[in-house]
A and B are shown apart, each in its own frame.
Chain A
């Protein structure tokens, strides 16, 4: 995806991540002494509200990160004739990464707790 749509989605996911990361970080490091234990993490990930939160954060971070990498790839490849193949290569890696991260993330959120 390029152009205005890419820019727009990058803004939206960026804003979600700005607030999401603050909450994410806050709960991991500020909610009490020595709480980052197995039980604590499992209890949190079992909560349907946290599951929803995690899913939104997961989708945003995968989109934002890979869309950014795609932007860099397009700029790096330039507009020469030879760049089409290179871009296809980058595109394949990015799509595979997105698939891998999405499947892994959903597995973690759904299968645990």
Chain B
């Protein structure tokens, strides 16, 4: 089978990739929270958040969440009967405008802007 790099295929690929990544992330997230009973260990793990590489990872995580959510909205819209010919527009508007705005809003506090 040969795929063409069309909007629907790109969106499908991004949706799969981000979905698998986010599912794997739940394991890491819950693992860290199991240390909630131990203040020292938890404070130690929270210090990781000051590491620039971890911050970069958080930003990547945020990007994955937003892209997956935006594409989910797009899929739901198509399911609810939005004409297929509009799917490219929906994709661009959601990812670029919606996603871009949300992303900037999220990167701001991660970089310490809200403090």
Contact = CB atoms under 8 A, between A and B. Distances in A.
Given A69-B20, A104-B30, A45 B72 contact: no
A15 B73 CA distance: 9
Contact of B27 (A30, A37, A101, A108): A101
B100 interface: no
Contacts of B65: 21, 25
Nearest to A11: B76
A72 interface: yes
B30 A38 contact: no
Contact of A14 (B20, B42, B76, B106): B76
Contacts of B110: 29
Contacts of B115: 33-34
Contacts, number: 69
Nearest to B39: A38
Interface residues of A, number: 33
Contact of A65 (B16, B26, B46, B114): B26
Interface residues of B, number: 30
Contacts of A99: none
A112 interface: yes
B34 interface: yes
Contacts of B26: 61-62, 65, 101
Given A21-B65, A72-B19, 17 more contacts: A14-B76, A18-B73, A29-B106, A29-B110, A29-B114, A30-B114, A38-B39, A38-B42, A41-B36, A45-B36, A66-B23, A69-B20, A105-B30, A107-B34, A108-B34, A111-B37, A113-B36
